[in-house]
Amino acid sequence: MKKKKLLQAILIALIVILIGILSDIFIRLRYNAKILQFDSNEFNNLVTPFTTIVGFVAIFITLLYTKNQLRKSSSDDFYDFYKDLFQKVKDRNTINIRGNNRIKLLGFLYYVDIIYNKLILVNDYLFDLGYFRYENRNINVRERTYYNILSDLYYFRLEALILNEECIRIIKEIQETDKLSDEHRGLLLEQFISDIIDDHISDCKLLNERFSNIKTDLYLSFDRMDLVMIESLQFFSNNFFKLFDFVMNDKDLKKYYDKYEATK
């Protein structure tokens, strides 16, 4: 926008100068016929400043156009780079756990709901949850029948947190780089939200609205000593919602998300 205004100002200035010179010539022609016989010095005095300005502006516009073309070419290259990167994130979003190779990390609720329903069918898990929560006991889950289920859940959560952090890093990089045009930046952010992290945001909302029991009752361990190895005994710690909070608290990202949701 600033460049456009600058070019408009230069063009207006050139037009004013040209009108001034033509007016001067016209007046002399109209009221003083001797203008037809002006010498070369007078001609140079009239024309040289104008041609100099025109030449300078032509060079300036050429350089500006070349710079914009180079920037556009660079933005195109980086746009293609991020599009390829998005595909790698999509591939990374699917993992294999015990032969099930279609488990989604960002759309986490489907798998977590299955695991939770398995756990609540195990009496030991419900008893240990009650002892841990209401009697403040530490329980060695490695000796329990449900330990393998918790191991799978721990692996899933670890992979999900890593991918969430990677998504935040990519978004920040797109927001902050000067290698992308504003148009490409907006397109990439909009696509990243709609094609990749929409499932994560939707599941976070759904978890709070309809699956609060899973949020409060799903644990990775009932032994507080395990906090040395894991940052939270509960599956859904604040860290798990870091990507969701990041998008919802950024007005531009929230705008892209709301725009996409309105089209569903």
Q: Over 90: is that where the pLDDT of 175 sits? A: yes
Q: Residue 148: what pLDDT?
A: 94
Lowest mean pLDDT among 141-150, 183-192, 219-228: 219-228
Furthest CA-CA distance within the chain = 114
Helical spans, DSSP H, in the chain: 2-31, 40-92, 109-119, 123-134, 147-176, 182-192, 198-210, 212-217, 242-248, 251-262
Domain coordinates in residue numbering, the chain:
2-72, 93-262
Q: What tokens appear for 194 in the block?
A: 């709609």
Q: Over 70: is that where the pLDDT of 239 sits? A: yes
Percent of the chain scoring above 70 in pLDDT: 72
| Cβ proximity of 133 and 222 under 8 Å | no
Of 241, 219, 216, whose CA–CA distance to 230 is shortest? 219
Dist CA 157 CA 164 (whole Å): 10
CA atoms lying within 13 Å on the CB side of residue 240: 27
Higher pLDDT, 175 or 69: 175
Q: Residue 36: what pLDDT?
A: 46
Q: What tokens appear for 98 in the block?
A: 């015990």
Higher pLDDT, 144 or 12: 144
**Mean pLDDT score, 20-29:** 60
Of 51, 30, 152, 159, whose CA–CA distance to 95 is shortest? 159
Q: Over 80: is that where the pLDDT of 220 sits? A: yes
What DSSP state is assigned to residue 219?
Answer: B
| Cβ proximity of 157 and 167 under 8 Å | no
66 falls in which pLDDT band (50, 70, 90)?
A: very low
26 falls in which pLDDT band (50, 70, 90)?
A: low
Q: Is 52 helix (H, G, I), strand (E, B) or coil?
A: helix
Tell me if the pTM is above 0.75: no
Dist CA 249 CA 253 (whole Å): 8
AA letter at 28: R
Q: What tokens appear for 82 in the block?
A: 């991020």
Each residue of 82-135: pLDDT tens digit? 999 999 999 999 999 988 888 999 999 999 999 999 999 999 999 999 999 999
Higher pLDDT, 57 or 118: 118
Q: Could you tell me how far CA 188 lies from the centroid of its own chain?
A: 7
35 falls in which pLDDT band (50, 70, 90)?
A: very low
CA atoms lying within 13 Å on the CB side of residue 80: 5
Dist CA 142 CA 223 (whole Å): 10
Q: Residue 63: what pLDDT?
A: 46
Of 152, 170, 168, whose CA–CA distance to 95 is shortest? 152
